[in-house]
Amino acid sequence: MNWLLVIAGAVVGAPLRYLTDLAVQKRHDTVFPWGTFVVNVAGCLVLGLLTGAITYGAASDSVQLLIGTGFCGALTTYSTFSYETMRLAQTGAEFFAFANVIASVVAGLGAAFVGVAVAEALWA
């Protein structure tokens, strides 16, 4: 039963990642990987909110499997982040590669902390 929850979340998360990446990249004429950045930061926000919800008893283990493991696991992508960062560095866009690493880590952690804070405000 647990694996069905993970699959159900991934069925939504994977296409949403693809469609979001396409939509975001179409709006930006730059080599910076905005699409991956957006889905990763959004996933961090959702995971922070979910972590807070679980901490304060507002979400179950089943919700964690559905949203945390399934949805966010398929939505976010560390491998694409790594690939795009390496590609930027290899093609001479070292500034964008460095900016991608710093901005992704700072924004991702910030979004996770915001998600936990929102959960605390809602359910603590």
For residue 73, say whether it is annotated as part of any ligand binding site. Answer: yes
Alpha-carbon torsion angle 64, 33, 82, 115, nearest 10: -30
Question: How many CB atoms sit inside 10 A of residue 71's CB?
Answer: 26
Give 79-116 as a 3 state SS string.
Answer: HHHHHHHHHHHHCCCHHHHHHHHHHHHHHHHHHHHHHH
CA proximity to 39, closest of 4, 84, 74, 89: 74
Phi first, then psi, for residue 103 (nearest 5°) are -65, -40
For residue 76, say whether it is annotated as part of any ligand binding site. Answer: yes
Binding residues: 73, 76
Binding-site residue ranges for Na(+): 73, 76
